[in-house]
Amino acid sequence: MKKILCALFLPLSLSIFSSPCPNSPNCVISDESDTKHYIEPIKFQNQNIESVNKALVQAIKSLDGEIIENKDNYIKAKFQSKFFKFEDDAEFYIDKEKKVIEVRSAAQSGWYDFNVNRKRIEKIRTLIK
């Protein structure tokens, strides 16, 4: 019963994505409670959800990302490094009330990613503006 009650009171930001970041440094997330992996959400202004979604999909594809899921205001994408073929998963939640895109991007394996996920999200931020 205690676990059920705790789950009911989780902050929204924790329930948006499939999972929080692991202890390894190969993940970034726009959840302020995770200071170790924190990255600022991507801001947008005066755009409807459809145009933000379209711009986000274009940015992902321009970085050779593959769209795995695109439903309502949620996008899941997969990226693969060119040389070693390491795979990264990225999730995006478009919050129309806050006018931000919440993000989570993580390597599927390994410990350190040389900040690849952080740099990718920053590149997407630049492409969307």
Q: If pLDDT is split at 50, 70 and 90, which confidence band does 7 have?
A: very low
- pLDDT (tens digit per residue) in 70-95: 998 999 999 998 777 889 999 999 99
Mean pLDDT to the nearest integer, 92-99: 96
Exposure of 7 by Cβ count < 10 A (0-12 exposed, 13-18 middle, 19+ buried)? exposed
**Is 80 exceeded by the pLDDT of residue 36?**
yes
Share of the chain above pLDDT 90, in %: 70
Question: Domain-by-domain residue ranges, the chain?
Answer: 26-128
Q: If pLDDT is split at 50, 70 and 90, which confidence band does 61 have?
A: very high
In the CATH scheme, what is the code of domain 26-128?
Answer: 3.30.310.80
